[in-house]
Amino acid sequence: MAVVSIVRVQNEDIEGAVRSAVKQAGGLDALIGRDSIVLVKPNVLRPLESGTGILTDARVTEAVVKMTKERDPRRIIIGEGASVGYDFPDFRDTLDAFKMSGTEEVAQRCGVELIDLNRDESVEVEVPDAYVMKKFRVAKTALEADVIISIPVLKTHVRTAITCSLKNMKGVLPGLEKRRTHQCGLDRAIVDLNKAVKPDLTVVDAVNCMEGTWEYPRDRLTLNLIVAGADPVAVDATCARIMRLDPAMVLHIQLAQEKGLGTADPSEIEVKGLRVEEVARRFRPYSEVFKSRFGMITFVEKDACTGCMGEIYSTFVYLREAGYDRELGKLTVIMGRPEVIPRMEGKPLVVGRCASHYAKLGVFVPGCPPHGTAITDKACETLGIDQERVHAAIEELHKVPPGKG
Could you give the percent of the chain with pLDDT greater than 70? Answer: 96
Lowest mean pLDDT among 234-243, 297-306, 352-361: 297-306
3-state secondary structure of 78: strand
Please, are residues 341 and 300 in contact by the beta-carbon 8 Å criterion? yes
3-state SS of 269-290 is EEEEECCHHHHCCCCCCHHHHH
- Residue 185: band (very low, low, confident or very high) from pLDDT cuts 50, 70, 90: confident
**Mean pLDDT of all residues belonging to the chain:** 93
Please, are residues 153 and 162 in contact by the beta-carbon 8 Å criterion? no
Task: Measure the CA angle with vertex 310, ends 79 and 341; round to 5°.
Answer: 130
**How far is the C-alpha of 192 from the C-alpha of 184, rounded, in Å?**
11
Displacement of CA 398 from its chain's centroid (Å): 22
Please, are residues 191 and 261 in contact by the beta-carbon 8 Å criterion? yes
* Torsion sign across C-alpha atoms 383, 387, 393, 398: positive
38-48 tens-digit pLDDT: 999 999 998 99
**How far is the C-alpha of 266 from the C-alpha of 277, rounded, in Å?**
13
For 258-339, strand residue ranges (E) read 269-273, 298-302, 331-336
Instruction: Convert 129-162 to b/e letters by CB count within 10 Å (16 or more is b).
Output: ebbbbeebbbbebbbebbbbbbbbbbbbbbbbbb
Please, are residues 384 and 391 in contact by the beta-carbon 8 Å criterion? no
Q: What is the dihedral of CA 263, 265, 269, 273, to 10 degrees?
A: 120
Question: Which pLDDT score is estimated for 405?
Answer: 40
* Rounded average pLDDT over 203-211: 98
The DSSP-derived string for 156-167 is: EETTTEEESHHH
Q: At what angle do helices 58-69 and 14-24 cross, to 10 degrees?
A: 50
Whether the predicted pLDDT of 404 surpasses 50: no
153-173 tens-digit pLDDT: 999 998 899 999 999 999 999
**How far is the C-alpha of 354 from the C-alpha of 303, rounded, in Å?**
9
Q: pTM, whole model, 2 decimals?
A: 0.87
**How far is the C-alpha of 221 from the C-alpha of 76, rounded, in Å?**
31
Residues of the chain within CATH 3.40.50.11440 domain(s) are 2-279
**How far is the C-alpha of 53 from the C-alpha of 213, rounded, in Å?**
12
Residues 6+ apart with CB under 8 A from 60: 14, 18, 42, 151, 203, 205, 207, 226
Q: Which of 281, 275, 346 is nearest to 7 (CA)?
A: 275
Question: Which pLDDT score is estimated for 333?
Answer: 95
Q: In CATH, what is the architecture of 295-397?
A: 3-Layer(aba) Sandwich (3.40)
Residues 6+ apart with CB under 8 A from 183: 303, 305, 337, 354
Whether the predicted pLDDT of 90 surpasses 80: no
Residues 6+ apart with CB under 8 A from 240: 161, 162, 164, 246, 247, 250, 253
329-381 tens-digit pLDDT: 999 999 999 988 988 888 999 999 999 999 999 999 999 888 888 999 999 99
Q: How many CA atoms lie within 13 A of 164 on its CB side?
A: 31
Specify the fold of 2-279.
Rossmann fold (3.40.50)
User: For the chain, how many residues are written?
Assistant: 405
The DSSP-derived string for 117-149 is: TTTS-EEEEE-TT-SS-SEEEEEHHHHH-SEEE
* CA–CA distances in Å: residue 221 to residues 6, 51, 87, 214: 17, 11, 27, 10
